[in-house]
Amino acid sequence: MRALVLAAAVAGAGVGTGLAVPGSALAQAESGRSMSVPVAETAPERYVVKRGDTLWDISAMYLQDPWYWPEIWYVNPNIANPHLIYPGDVLYFSYVDGKPRVSLERAGTVRLSPEVRSSPLDGAIRAIPYDLLMDFVGRPRLLDKDQIKDAPYVVGMRDRHIVGTDYNEIYGRGLEKPATGTRYNIINVGKELRDPDDGDLLGYMGHFAGLGEVVQSTGAVIPGKDSIFGMKRDEELAHIKVLEVGREIMQGDKLFPATVDIGDDFVITLPKNEGVLGQVVAVVDGVSVGGRYQVVAVNRGKQHGLEPGNALGVFYRGEEIRDRYDRVDWMRWTANYDKVRLPDERSATVLVFQVYERMSYALVVESSQALHIGDFIAHPQYGHRDAGNTVYMR
């Protein structure tokens, strides 16, 4: 089953140099033959997949718009999982019946029968950088409201401490019986995230407070129960030693597993809902602007047709200006200025990787301008494409 967190590539995002597409292939495209997707001018004829590559960057190497990747990827039914690509695999670009296609030769030899691996994702490249998503999932900094309601939490400190720091000891409630040595990230719940459309609560900002390791689990002493001295042990509490702190640990801070399974990867796609329209409501790390490889929250989710792997455009709204020139006599200025609204420009592209009912998290995979809280998100083919002549360009 696909996890909500789509997953990412091995750390890094480099794409090695390949051979340019031969003139004959480009001639096929330019001769009037059907082209289903816009191919990049520098698409290599042959490319050897390398560690650190991501599917997004490989797609961008072949296509002007990487979300068209499923339309040119040749799926070989004779391979166990034809969607997975591994370092050492060779990709070949060609035209078949006038349409671009990328086919695969597995590293070593072409495998004509399914191959069994210890894990379906062992060594496979991911759609976006793996380390970035692991950091986000393990130390969540944008929290869905249901995560807050159900998450275990810090119930108290040892030795009457009011706040916890490194090498203090704390107690976690709601963890049941975690094994000794299990590690948890301690997350402080911050400000609310509300939908700018209707003011409804979407979630909360999360702040990394610390990392703790379970020493042992023991029964909680609950006053007022029928037992010796009027007290009874009836609920498991986890005794946790604090190993690392990011800020003061407070009673009520939430506990999330430090080791998480981010699940299967996803396919890069366009949203099925072509009319999806929303806003960026938060940028990870509590800043108001963001760039490439930062995580953002948007106020659209499952009920709006979003799925993990959807590409979305981030746009800044065109300014409204006054046209100072007379359209009849261009040499004469006029006092009756016409109002003109400049086009909306796409300043970034994000890939959705975790989807809830009314909100989603997405990774910025390319940007030509800094994006801001309040910028709107839409189908990536909406509006104008930014020229991308700033330092934010990928």
Residue 4: pLDDT band by 50, 70, 90 thresholds?
very low
Cα–Cα distance, 237 to 220 (Å, whole number): 6
pLDDT value, residue 252: 92
Cα–Cα distance, 223 to 225 (Å, whole number): 6
DSSP 8-class letter at 308: T
Q: Which residues does 336 contact at the CB level (< 8 Å), separation at least 6?
A: none
Burial of 293-304, coded b for 16+ CB within 10 Å and e otherwise, reads ebbbbbbbbeeb
pLDDT, one tens digit per residue, over 123-178 is 788 888 877 777 777 777 778 888 888 899 999 887 656 555 556 889 999 998 88
pLDDT, one tens digit per residue, over 22-71 is 343 334 334 333 346 889 888 999 999 998 899 999 999 999 889 888 88
- The H-or-E segment that residue 24 falls in is helix 23-30
Question: What does each C-alpha distance from 38 to 30, 252, 274 come to in angstroms?
Answer: 12, 52, 19
- Domains in the chain and their CATH numbers? 23-127 (no CATH), 138-257 (no CATH), 277-385 (2.40.10)
pLDDT value, residue 330: 61
Q: Which residues does 110 contact at the CB level (< 8 Å), separation at least 6?
A: none
Are the beta carbons of 295 and 282 closer than 8 angstroms?
Answer: no
Residue (of 363, 364, 324) closest to 348 by Cα position: 364
What does the mean pLDDT of the chain come to?
76
What 3-state DSSP class applies to 302? helix
pLDDT at 253 over 80: yes
Share of the chain above pLDDT 90, in %: 27
